[in-house]
Copies of this chain bind each other. A is one copy, B any other.
Amino acid sequence: MLPWRGDLAGRIEEGVVDSTMLRGNVLGDPHERPVWVYLPPGYDDTEGSGERYPSVYVIQGYTGHLTMWANRAPFRQPFVETADQVFATGTAPPCIVVYVDAWTSYGGSQFVDSPGTGRYHSYLCDEVVPWVDQRYRTITDRESRAISGKSSGGFGAMITPMLRPDLFGALATHAGDTLYEHCYLPDFAAAARHLRAYDGDIWRWWDDFRSRPAFSKREDESLLTSVGISAAFSASDDGTPVLPYDPRSGVVIDEVWQRWLDWDPVRMVDRYADALRSQRAIWIDAGDADDYHLDLGAQAFRDGLARIGVADEKVAFELFPGTHMAIDYRYPLSLAWLAQRLAR
């Protein structure tokens, strides 16, 4: 394996979705969004044959944006290449893989509709999916459409099929954000301490953050998460993110925190039990020493599926040795597993 590039057996088409949903979003972020559509080996050969393919939508973690999928790392291949190999090697039957962009100026959208960021859930479901289905030979049935992601992308992969089981019939979550008392809440204490240097005003930090190289101060990651997740889950009607904690003491503000908890996949399981039971395949994994305790979230989500009666044979669950970092080698595993289970 040479480090500089990898040739694909399939190919990627780079498109642009001109989103109506994202027009006029509060952050002024672009409504024209890039999208990559991976066409597996054989796709071009079947042109005209009418053969259609299942599709897997891939979404990113917080701060991710589409072109980061092309980033190269030492001793590893990008997912676009390891995903290609799943099909090139015949490990799984061919699928179309759709790389979706949901970046915002805050670093991400959590793939929900929010006045704090924009209508990213609707954009994904009602614009990107039809855009793909119109241009490529997908099987347009939910039984043949899956969604997958890591971290915030794993969160998106859990909630999107809950909200739209008519569109998605399978999912994979790698270290997906859930069990918020252990993934988000611990950071509030850190954030409150960091905010001492900003008189408790997170917007003073934000102005500072925008004025200098990002992540050049150690508080940046923590405070960006506060702003961004508040924008997604607890924005006021005018789009202002509302923090779920007192910025001076870190005291949790119950009513705002509840808005976050309403978006906790572990807590959504019962409310969306039918949607979850209707899934063909659910992959759940995390590193057993995940930095955000998402292994515990994975366990809790998996326990929730058992509680509502999702059949064991539909679930793949693993806590593997690892942290939250450098786990992209897990993605092709779930891709192959999903590809084997989607209807065709």
Contact = CB atoms under 8 A, between A and B. Distances in A.
Interface in A178-230: 179, 181-182, 185-186, 188-189, 192-193, 196, 213-217
A191 to B, nearest CB: 10
A5 B67 contact: yes
B193 A296 contact: yes
Contact of A249 (B64, B188, B299): B299
Interface string A250-262: 1110000000000
Interface in A291-324: 293, 295-297, 299-300, 303, 321-322
A240 interface: no
A292 B329 CA distance: 28
A65 B329 contact: no
Nearest to A224: B75
Number of copies: 4
Contact of A70 (B70, B181, B289): B70
25 contacts: A4-B34, A4-B67, A4-B103, A5-B67, A63-B74, A64-B74, A65-B72, A70-B72, A71-B71, A76-B213, A179-B251, A181-B250, A182-B250, A186-B186, A192-B296, A193-B288, A196-B288, A216-B322, A216-B326, A246-B300, A248-B303, A249-B300, A250-B296, A251-B296, A251-B300
Contact of A181 (B63, B185, B216, B289): B185
Interface of A: 2-5, 30, 34, 63-68, 70-76, 101, 103, 107, 179, 181-182, 185-186, 188-189, 192-193, 196, 213-217, 246, 248-252, 266, 288-289, 293, 295-297, 299-300, 303, 321-322, 326, 329
Contacts of A288: 193, 196
Contacts of A107: 74-75
A198 B44 CA distance: 48
Contacts of A74: 63-65, 68, 107, 214-215
A185 B186 CA distance: 8
A3 B65 contact: yes
A288 B248 CA distance: 12
